[in-house]
Amino acid sequence: MTFDLQFTDKEITPWGGLSLIKRMLDHLGFDAALAASALPQPGSNRGYRPEQLIMQFMLGVWCGANRFEHGEVTRHDHVLQRLYGFARMANFKAVIRLFRKFDQPTNDGVFGRLYAWLIAQLQLDVLTLDLDSTVMTRYGVQDGAAKGYNPAKPGRNAHHPLMAFVADTRMVANLWLRPGNSHTANNVSGFLAATLERLGPKRVGLRRADSGFSDDAFLRDLEHRKIPFLVATKLQQPLQRALVAQPGWWSLDEGIDLVSFDYQSPSWETPRKVVGIRQHITYRDHPKGKTLSLFADDPAYGHYRYGVIVTSLDLPAQEIWRTYRGRADCENRIKELKYDFAADSFCLKDFFATEACLNTVMLAYNLMSLFRQAALKASTTEATASHGKDIQHTLQTLRFKLFAKAGYITTEGRKNILKLAVGMRHRESFEGLWNQAKTFDLPVQFSPVFSP
């Protein structure tokens, strides 16, 4: 079969499904929140509104852009331009110029207001906050890019951002960009204070972190603030000896033993409760933890992988361990931010411009997470009932399953109508999402991961 080639002047978008996001943003009052965030203003009256530039950048991220120039895919989309109410679409260089206007006070002010606004949309009084950091490899010369811990690219310059996640809602609560040679716990107490300020009246019922945050100063800060915590700790030699000397190990399951005792590290001012976990390498397919370096060749202890959690909670050892294991989900959030939202791909020469760009990606991620858990709530509930588990589609899945719908805008009388190319059997469900994106209850209700 052969075809002749012809062209059409009809304005058609391949991303008609993003109209669902627009309806959700209108329902949330996002335009007003963005206008109230005190974004840097253009120096000319012919400049683009900063609210449009932020929105246009997020549209590019949702459509799969992983470079600033990839934003051109939405710039020439006249249907998206009309859907989102832009008079004219900006070049990607205008977005870069906006980010270059950000400095540290501007970042703290603008994104502090936006994070606080978004968290206020959540019906959740007690939060579980997970703390983590990640490495973002850099190529070229950028402010703050330095050689440090970089397992993927040893010796390569990188940034080392610090991140806080709300485990109950699968959202980011805060992000600080740091140089690549920063220690994991560098300025973590200041980061915690800034995060708590953004949470407003919501209370942190549990704080979880990995062993990079087990230093005494941070633990004392948590105790001073009366925030319950679960923090993994490093297997230093005194702790290894204490684990081996404990007589109270008991079996939770085949190949998994637990013990609970009070321990004072040489670097701690006071003793604290710790829970030890060991997994046998023979009976567990993928044992978690590390070998005790002092007893690696010992026939009794060398066959185990150990881990230790320091806590302020008065709970049984098995509950401590099971509750802490949920912290691993923030690793999935980081992977999604890098693979689906290209968080580590957008980088500028100026340090705080890069931080502003990263926080905008976090905002795009949070809005998409809210869309999945509010507008898609009905379909998620149905899938949970039929499959027995919670299904959370990644952005890549949503992009090609829901957003990539060809469409165009027409009029009937004075009414604008968006026509989408959706298969007959999917139209009813899509129309349900269309209605739900504008009618879901606010604030959005979530169930807490942990209730103290």
- Strand partners for 290: 306
Q: What is the overall mean pLDDT for the chain?
A: 93
- Quick one: pLDDT at residue 377? 72
Residues 6+ apart with CB under 8 A from 303: 280, 281, 282
As a whole number, mean pLDDT of residues 105-117 equals 97
As a whole number, mean pLDDT of residues 240-249 equals 95
pLDDT one-digit tens code per residue, 213-230: 999 999 999 999 999 999
Strands 256-263 and 250-253: antiparallel
- Quick one: pLDDT at residue 449? 80
- Quick one: pLDDT at residue 380? 47
- Quick one: pLDDT at residue 211? 93
- Quick one: pLDDT at residue 273? 97
For 81-109, b/e burial (b = at least 16 CB within 10 A) is bebbebeebbebebbbbbbbbbeeeebbe
Strands 126-133 and 407-412: unpaired
Contact 96, 48 (CB under 8 A): no
Query: Smallest Cα–Cα separation from 410: which of 6, 8, 10?
Result: 10
For 130-155, b/e burial (b = at least 16 CB within 10 A) is bbbbbbbebeeebbbbbebebeeeee
Contact 178, 375 (CB under 8 A): no
- Strand partners for 208: 130, 230
pLDDT one-digit tens code per residue, 341-378: 999 999 999 999 999 999 999 999 999 999 999 988 75
pLDDT band at 35 (very low <50, low <70, confident <90, very high): very high
pLDDT one-digit tens code per residue, 368-409: 999 999 988 755 444 444 444 567 789 999 999 999 999 999
Measured CA distances, 452 to 130, 228, 323 (Å): 16, 8, 12
Q: How far apart are CA 237 and CA 339, in angstroms?
A: 38
Most confident of 41-45, 202-206, 392-396: 202-206
As a whole number, mean pLDDT of residues 20-32 equals 96
Q: How far apart are CA 433 and CA 428, in angstroms?
A: 9
Q: Give percent of the chain above pLDDT 90.
A: 88
Q: Is the pLDDT of residue 339 over 50?
A: yes
As a whole number, mean pLDDT of residues 294-317 equals 95
As a whole number, mean pLDDT of residues 7-18 equals 94
As a whole number, mean pLDDT of residues 175-194 equals 95
3-class DSSP assignment, residue 157: strand
For 205-220, b/e burial (b = at least 16 CB within 10 A) is bbbbbbbbbbbeebbe
Q: How far apart are CA 372 and CA 393, in angstroms?
A: 8
Query: Smallest Cα–Cα separation from 186: which of 223, 149, 156, 152?
Result: 149
Measured CA distances, 339 to 127, 415, 422 (Å): 26, 39, 27
The first and second tokens of residue 180, run together, are 């690549």
Q: Give percent of the chain above pLDDT 70.
A: 96
308 Rama class: left (phi>0) / alpha (psi -120 to 50) / beta: beta
Provide the angle, in degrees to the nearest 10, between the axes of the packed helices 427-436 and 377-387. Answer: 120
Q: Where are the domains of the chain?
A: 229-311
Contact 259, 275 (CB under 8 A): yes
